[in-house]
Amino acid sequence: MSEAATRHEGPSNNMVGPVLRAGELADVIVEAIRRDNPDDDVNVIDKRAYLRVQVDGECVVRRATVEELLRRPFLMQEIEPILASFAGQIEATERYIRFFLDNRR
C-alpha cells in the first residue's frame, strides 16, 4: 500500500497542545504543563522561534500552576500573546486552558 493510501485512513496520532512563541513565558507554560499533566509524557519540539508542546489526547494548563511558577498573579489571557497556534480543539476559561480531541483514534 502506498504512503498516500495509508494517509487517507487519517492520522493515528492524538497529539494535542499549544505552539508557543519562544521566550521566558513559554518556558514557564511548558513547566506548568508538565506539572498539570503528571501522568502524561510531555513532548516539546524546539523550533527556535516556537515551541510545539505535545501531549497525548488532552493537555491542560492551569492558572494556579502558572501563578505558582511566576510567583505573581496571572490571568489566563496573558498566554494569548505567545499562543501562536495549537493542535486539537481548545477550551479557554479563566482557570485553565485545555487542548483536547473529541474522538481519539
List helix spans (H) across 37-102: 63-70
Question: Which CB, 35 or 84, lies closer to other proteins?
Answer: 84
Distance CA 101, CA 26 (A): 23
Residue list 41-80, contact with other proteins (CB under 8 A): 47-50, 52, 75, 77-78, 80
Q: Which of 1, 3, 39, 71 binds other proteins (CB under 8 A)?
A: 3
Q: Shortest gap between Cβ of 5 and other proteins (angstroms)?
A: 7
Question: Which CB, 38 or 103, lies closer to other proteins?
Answer: 103
Q: Does 7 bind other proteins (CB under 8 A)?
A: yes
Is residue 35 within 8 Å of 65, Cβ to Cβ?
A: yes
Distance CA 45, CA 26 (A): 12
Q: Does 83 bind other proteins (CB under 8 A)?
A: yes
What's the sign of the alpha-carbon dihedral 92, 96, 100, 102? Answer: negative
Distance CA 80, CA 42 (A): 21
**Which residues contribute to the site for other proteins (CB under 8 A)?**
3-5, 7-8, 10-11, 13-15, 19, 21, 47-50, 52, 75, 77-78, 80-94, 101-103, 105
